[in-house]
């Protein structure tokens, strides 16, 4: 099983992809999936303090569970007008 990670805006540019599939690990949380992504893409750590998260299109906190087959969106702050 996997977890689909969606990346937006400058975070997608940083990683070089808008969507990634990461292996699911039992007990996964938003933070543990983000940390595995950061291990592969260290620049993600720069965004971590300001990221918003959504699990299956519902906003979630870092300690929220991420079930197998879920979609986790990492949403950086955006600016513009």
pLDDT in tens, 52-70: 999 999 999 999 999 999 9
Long-range contact list for 9-17, CB < 8 A, 24+ apart?
A: 9/75, 9/76, 9/78, 10/47, 10/76, 11/44, 11/47, 11/51, 11/74, 11/75, 11/76, 14/41, 14/43, 14/44, 14/46, 14/47, 15/41, 15/43, 15/44
- pLDDT tens by residue, 1-52: 999 999 999 999 999 999 999 999 999 999 999 999 999 999 999 999 999 9
Structural domains of the chain, ranges and CATH numbers in brackets: 2-75 (3.10.20.30)
* pLDDT band at residue 77 under the 50/70/90 scheme: confident
pLDDT for 80 beyond 70: no
Which residues of 30-78 form beta strands (DSSP E)?
A: 52-55, 58-60, 71-75
């Amino acid at each position: 099983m996997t977890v689909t990670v969606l990346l937006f805006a400058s975070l997608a540019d940083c990683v070089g992809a808008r969507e990634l599939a990461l292996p699911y690990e039992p007990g996964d949380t938003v933070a543990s999936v983000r940390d595995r992504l950061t291990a592969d893409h260290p620049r993600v750590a720069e965004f971590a303090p300001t990221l918003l998260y959504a699990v299956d299109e519902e906003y979630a906190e870092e300690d929220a569970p991420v079930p197998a087959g879920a979609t986790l969106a990492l949403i950086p702050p955006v600016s513009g007008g």
